[in-house]
Amino acid sequence: MRPRVPLLSIFIIARDEADRIERTIRAVRALSDDIVVVDSGSTDDTRDLARALGARVISNPWPGYGQQKRFAEEQCRHDWMLNLDADEVVPPDLATEIAALFSGSGPQADAYELRIAEIFPGEPAPHRFAYALAPVRLYRKDKGRYSPSPVHDRVDLAPGARIARLKGIVHHYSVRSLGEQMAKLNSYSDAQAEDLDKRDVSLSVFRLAVEFPANFIKAYIGRRHALRGVYGFMTAMNYAFYRYLRVAKHWEKRLQRRAPGATDPAARNPSDV
């Protein structure tokens, strides 16, 4: 068993992840004595499974991605934090790399990027040529915090923070099914359209025409889904439609405000509802 890493907390945000969170926690529980699961209202066994594996489970109503991760950061006991999503698994080689990082004189950087590669249903491991994101996921609490954005999932680092990248790859089991993926992406598009509206960002109407084909090419060719058979094609289509929906919902909001007699819903008198 790998030795636990001193001064490392691991935090996970979750909702209805009973089918995935056990694998996520088991992969890292030898690394830390402080695993925090922030649950936003699960109706399945997520909380019980996490507690049974030694995690501290804290309930918090869903405020948005960045806000929930900032809340989770506040619950961590140690100076170093590793963030995982409930559908992400740290394989043994990466766990060993993280443990080695804290041996001897300790980490030489303030934050570490971790490559995250998606594993589609039926794949035993990330495809050899799978596209991988590389966000900061391992960092010192005094050098970085999650952005409070409700839709953008990123760590904002302090000026001058030293960044390095680990070699291992996090396994991302994000797709339960195409339908579940599309429902999740539809929810993302709602949140992103709302965020654009709140920030008074205006996207060109021409993007309604180009968003779908451009993002299909981005996913199918740029992210190499073309190398992953029929499932790669189908997930590229889902991604492209999600990006189109984001723009379409943004324009729907603009058109609704321009309609004759339209009022700001937030400004309506409660008695009118």
Angle, alpha carbons 106-110-115 (nearest 5°) = 95
Which CATH superfamily, name and number, covers 8-172? Spore Coat Polysaccharide Biosynthesis Protein SpsA; Chain A (3.90.550.10)
| High-pLDDT (> 70) share of the chain, % | 93
- pLDDT digit string (tens) for 160-206? 999 999 999 999 999 999 999 999 899 989 989 998 988 888 899 99
> 88 pairs with which residues across the strands?
172
165: left (phi over 0), alpha (psi -120 to 50) or beta: beta
State the Cα–Cα distance between residues 139 and 13, nearest whole angstrom: 17
119-143 in b/e form (b: 16+ CB < 10 A) is bbeebeebbeebbeeeebbbbbeeb
Question: Over 50: is that where the pLDDT of 269 sits?
Answer: no
State the Cα–Cα distance between residues 37 and 16, nearest whole angstrom: 12
Boundaries of CATH 3.90.550.10 in the chain?
8-172
- pLDDT digit string (tens) for 26-77? 999 999 999 999 999 999 999 999 999 999 999 999 999 999 999 999 999 9
Q: Kindly tell me the sign of the dihedral angle through the C-alpha atoms of 64, 121, 119, 193.
A: negative
Going by the DSSP 8-state scheme, the letter that residue 167 receives in this structure is: E
Q: Cβ distance 114 to 44 under 8 Å?
A: no
- pLDDT digit string (tens) for 126-170? 888 888 999 999 999 999 999 998 888 899 999 999 999 999 999
Q: Cβ distance 136 to 115 under 8 Å?
A: no
Query: What backbone phi and psi angles, to 5 degrees, belong to 106?
Result: 85, 180
